[in-house]
Copies of this chain bind each other. A is one copy, B any other.
Amino acid sequence: MGLIVQKYGGTSVGSVERIKSVARRVVAAKEAGNDLVVVVSAMAGETNRLVALAEQIAESPDERERDVLLASGEQVSSALLALAIKSLGFKARSFLAHQVRIETDRAYGKARIKSIDSRRVKQSLKEGEIVVVAGFQGVDQDDNITTLGRGGSDTSAVALAAALNARCEIYTDVEGVFTGDPNICPAARKLDRITYEEMIEMASMGAKVLQIRSVELGMKFKVPIHVRSSFSEAEGTWVIEEDKTMDEVLVSGVTYDKDEAKITLLAVPDRPGLAAQIFGPIAAANIVVDMIIQNASAAGTTDLTFTVPKADYKKAVAVVEGMADTIQAKGITVDPKIAKVSIIGVGMRTHAGIAARMFQALSAEGVNIEMISTSEIKVSVVIDEKNTERAVRALHKEFIERQAAL
């Protein structure tokens, strides 16, 4: 009972039949006594179709017009879902971003929600209507249409739940968040609960399930997010605030990311301001640096290693080579065949020795560690890409399966 914001992804509304099936699920929740706000993505494939149209017209399409174009996908699916709900004999009403109104900044293609005026939605709910909202879209202060980036409908849903003080259910094509990739770890199991912080740290795995921005919003406004499958009735994973029992679990998940490349500057003369000199121009080229490691040597030079998205590493090397005179490195080595493997868990905060156990487990498997980075609730290592599966399996066994067996 109460107010629920449900979000259905592109696969869940990918055909007329699936839209009808979503309508039945929505109506069932309504009949159970709940008020419903339903956020929808574009039908699966539609956004790609529209992107292709734009790219046939312009190599790098203007961002404002691209957003006008892409927002039409959610307009279609929200109207179709409202139609489907009405044809089941229930009251429904679709809302676009400018009708709600969902206001964002002006960063076309990756806009951030600044405010939601929930009065019209509340009025509609009061009239007994099931409210359907087009996800992924917003309007800036001048009514220009914006979009929130891939997975943006998740953020639409969580932001609406925050504005309406509602629960949030994210329906997707997986059953929830898993302790590891089931394709690699047969023993991987669905997590019943996970903290916002853990979910954010699980970026590489989590981003496939939830847009990270939606988790940040959920954390900020304390919105419980229930990630579950639209193809079953099973409970999924609750993304929630940490409570006392949760730090009993040392490690919630093991993740990996093969989408980074490693760049090393060899024997750079070590002096103050070096890092700023190097990473300033890289950031200016819109390249996001993930891990950075610097080891000063006794000889007054340092080896500097960092990782960037694999898609950007050639651009990054070009930037660094352009600064050769300034940096005076002895050489540059590049390795795109790496993987980042991480263990994540809020329990690490209060338990010492987790990192050591991780290194030991990898060592026992003969996996060499090339870089290490730690945060309060995460330890990540960079290893040779070919060892990814072995490393993930070993860590899943060490931290998840043993834990469960205790």
Give A residues with C-beta under 8 Å from B: 16, 19-20, 50, 53-54, 56-59, 61-62, 64-66, 68-69, 71-72, 75-76, 78-80, 82-84, 86-87, 92-94, 96, 98-99, 143-145
Contact = CB atoms under 8 A, between A and B. Distances in A.
Contact of A68 (B53, B68, B69, B79): B79
A82 to B, nearest CB: 5
Contacts of A94: 65, 68
B98 A83 contact: no
18 contacts: A16-B53, A19-B57, A20-B57, A54-B79, A54-B80, A62-B82, A64-B93, A65-B92, A66-B79, A66-B83, A68-B94, A69-B75, A69-B76, A69-B79, A72-B75, A75-B75, A96-B145, A98-B143
Nearest to A58: B87
Given A53-B16, A57-B19, A83 B71 contact: no
A91 to B, nearest CB: 10
A72 B83 CA distance: 15
Contacts of A61: 83, 87
Nearest to A56: B16
Most B C-beta atoms less than 10 A away, residue of A59, A66, A83, A96 = A83
A213 B279 CA distance: 62
Across the A-B interface, give the 4 residue pairs with the lowest CB-CB distance, nearest first: A69-B79, A58-B87, A68-B79, A72-B72
Contacts of A143: 98-99
Contacts of A92: 65
Contacts of A59: 87
B50 A62 contact: no
